[in-house]
Amino acid sequence: MDSEQCRCEEDGTLHGLFLKCSNIISRRIGGNASRRRIIALLDERGELTQRDIQELLGIQAGSLSELVARMEKFGVITRKPDEADRRRIVLALTELGRERAREPREMNDERLFAALTPQERQELGRMLRKIADAHAKWKQEVDGK
């Protein structure tokens, strides 16, 4: 963690608190954050191209290719050429990948958000969805799509 991130976490802003909580969650869940995000995305949306994942998660193409190769090696995802465009690669979860995607969600929510009441968890979820939706709308406007 660099000194800028440390200062930001300690400044008391929402941004700083969010970074601090994000780091706590990452440490408590363990594993590679990008891998978990890819698994969650594929679980939620089904098959996606590498390009789709790259754009949705903001991962560099080279880093994503390397990560996808490791995930395929460990049996979590499959890669295959897109039927419509053989130049594109489609990713999908294997059965093991689906198990990994689903098993920790509720357990992690319970463990990570134990300090909140069920109502507070619902409200936090609503607010985070609102932020994510606003970001997606902003990104569409910026990208001109």
Residues 114-145: tens digit of each pLDDT:
899 999 999 999 999 999 899 889 888 888 76
The CATH 1.10.10.10 domain(s) of the chain lie at: 32-97
pLDDT at 2 (0 to 100): 47
Residue 33 identity (one-letter amino acid)? A
DSSP helix/strand/coil, 84: coil
48 to 26, 29, 51, 104, 143: CA distances (angstroms): 24, 25, 8, 22, 20
Q: Per CATH, which fold does 32-97 belong to?
A: Arc Repressor Mutant, subunit A (1.10.10)
Q: What is the pLDDT of residues 75-94, one digit of tens each?
A: 999 999 988 888 888 999 99
pTM of the model: 0.54
Residue 11 pairs in a beta bridge with none
Q: Which residues contact 65 (CB under 8 A, 6 or more apart)?
A: 50
